[in-house]
Amino acid sequence: MKELTDRIKNNGRVLGEGVLKVDEFITHQVDPELMDAMGKRLAEVFADKKITKVVTIEASGIAPAVYAAQALNVPMIFARKSKSLTMDEELLTASVYSFTKQVTSTISISRKFLSAEDNVLLVDDFLANGQAAKGLIELCQQAGASVAGIGILIEKSFQDGRQLIEDMNIPVVSLARIASLHDGKIIFIEEDA
Ligand code: G4P
Ligand code: NA
Ligand code: NA
């Protein structure tokens, strides 16, 4: 998606160790106009899949997920990383290992929000190693829900996430695909959605 790759070129910054900083418009400060356009684009791609819910994980997955959900006219659910005081219901839970932080955390969604009737679109800001996505897929499976696909803003194609998800026969659509971040330079894979 040209608006996104242009914005990454203009406002993204490469940090050491293959990390892309996009806090000017995605992960901290949010550009609603761009986020709306990206949500609409993901909704368009999955328009004929009969999506019933959009599912993401807090925190920075929420903005793209809510715009995609609005465009699909369905609810958005975000998995929590820590237990909320008011979450007294039965929970779906999964463990997520972060290679970056080298810690395992538990993510959860109240059982009442996902059922076997649901056909889910997963949305996230980044796809790196795919561990967060894998955790979200597990939550959907526990509920008996189907996962129709995953929509990502920025895929780091030099990490293993896409392969991990595709091996589960789940289609991955990324609005920007980054081939490498060597020497402070951002190289895109040019067949962006
Ligand atoms: P994985 O889920 O793909 O396995 O990712 P990993 O453990 O490597 O990354 C953990 C966190 O870092 C995730 O956010 C993920 O979205 C984010 N992330 C991964 N690569 C990049 C990157 O190059 N740039 C930026 N800005 N973020 C990246 P999180 O910390 O769990 O959540 P959040 O609360 O920030 O949303
Ligand atoms: Na993040
Ligand atoms: Na995220």
Measured by CA distance, the residue closest to atom 7 of ligand 1 is 98
The per-residue pLDDT for 83 is 72
Mutate to test the pocket of ligand 1, among 126, 174, 181, 182 (most ligand atoms within 8 A of CB): 126
Contact assessment for residue 78 and residue 57, using Cβ atoms and an 8 Å cutoff: yes
The per-residue pLDDT for 17 is 80
Q: Give the residue from 155, 69, 151, 179 showing the smallest Cα distance to 118.
A: 69
Judge whether residue 150 has pLDDT over 60. yes
Measured by CA distance, the residue closest to atom 16 of ligand 1 is 126
What are 51-96's pLDDT values in tens digits? 999 999 999 999 999 999 999 999 999 999 987 666 667 999 999 9
Judge whether residue 134 has pLDDT over 60. yes
The per-residue pLDDT for 147 is 98
Ligand 1 pocket, Cβ-based, cut-off 6 angstroms: 19-22, 27, 58-61, 98-100, 125-132, 156, 161
Residue 94 has which token pair? 């999964």
| Domain 2-188 in this protein, CATH class | alpha beta
Mean pLDDT of 156-165: 98
Judge whether residue 148 has pLDDT over 90. yes
What ligand has the least distance to the C-alpha of 94? 1
Residue 150 has which token pair? 């995953």
